[in-house]
Amino acid sequence: MTSPPSGSPPTPRVAERAIQIAGERGALVGRLHVPAGDVRAAAVLCHPHPLYGGDMHNHVVDALACGLAADGVLALRFNFRGVGGSAGLHDGGPGEVRDVLAAFEALRAERGGRTVPLAVVGYSFGAAVGLAAAAQHGDVAAAVGVSPPFGRSDFCFLADVAFPVLLIWGQDDALVDAAAAQRVAAYQTVRTIVVPGADHFWRTGVERVVAAAAAFLRAPGSGSTARAEDGRD
């Protein structure tokens, strides 16, 4: 293992523990990542499509959970119904939206008396259901969608949300419909980042996803994240 360069700040320590979420079909299994210092936000993380092998141990979800927690975000990743020890059966979207709503309530309890903003961060299928759940919840302060499946899921509801949304995808993502992406990018509360050289599966560039999500959750209403990453004025 390579040691960090001399003079680099140490990576903040993060505690991780198992958690169970009360889902409508039984318990959903998850992992809670707890920052070592002050908690400035709390986020539910949603994994990619379970019928294609997606679960909470996906490398993008794992990197986001660890990276956000190191940046002061209480991060909850979990398995949707029917995945890796979670009760129930895959529902194609509607049931998984309700799973995210249940995860919000579990995370609210874990926040205790801390009045920190609530967010959702989803990848691919997890972006679609996570954003849909956020639109229904009423207490979400920010949302991040990574590789949202434009053209396969309807994101028109984002035109009406009050909270800021950051959407990130790779320039070489074959699953992103360009016309649909342009329509959604025009919504008032939506900002976008397109990462050069990255595809839907983030074989490269995942560290940029984590950095962009962390920066956005520090100041979701600032508008600076997208300009810094995609070069817009």
All domains of the chain in start order, with CATH: 14-230 (3.40.50.1820)
C-alpha distances (whole Å) from 21 to each of 32, 44, 103, 142 are 11, 12, 6, 22
List the structure tokens of 220.
Answer: 């979701």
Indicate whether 231 pLDDT > 80.
no
Average pLDDT, the chain: 90
Indicate whether 224 pLDDT > 50.
no
Indicate whether 42 pLDDT > 70.
yes
Q: Three-class SS of residue 166? A: strand
Average pLDDT over residues 38-44: 95
Indicate whether 1 pLDDT > 50.
no
Indicate whether 80 pLDDT > 50.
yes
Indicate whether 177 pLDDT > 70.
yes
The whole-number pLDDT of residue 173 equals 96
Indicate whether 228 pLDDT > 80.
no
List the structure tokens of 232.
Answer: 């817009």
The whole-number pLDDT of residue 120 equals 99
Model confidence at 14, in pLDDT bands (50, 70, 90)?
confident
Indicate whether 4 pLDDT > 90.
no
Indicate whether 230 pLDDT > 70.
no
Rg (CA), the chain: 17
128-162 tens-digit pLDDT: 999 999 999 989 999 999 999 997 888 999 999 99
The length of the chain, given as a count of residues: 233
List the structure tokens of 63.
Answer: 């990197």
The whole-number pLDDT of residue 222 equals 72
Average pLDDT over residues 24-49: 96
DSSP code at position 208 = H
Average pLDDT over residues 201-209: 97
Q: Where are the alpha helices (DSSP H) in 71-221?
A: 94-111, 125-137, 178-185, 206-218
91-127 tens-digit pLDDT: 999 999 999 999 999 999 987 656 899 999 999 999 9
Average pLDDT over residues 52-64: 98
Q: Specify the residue for token string 């956005």.
A: 216
Distance between the two ends of the chain, CA-based, in angstroms? 40
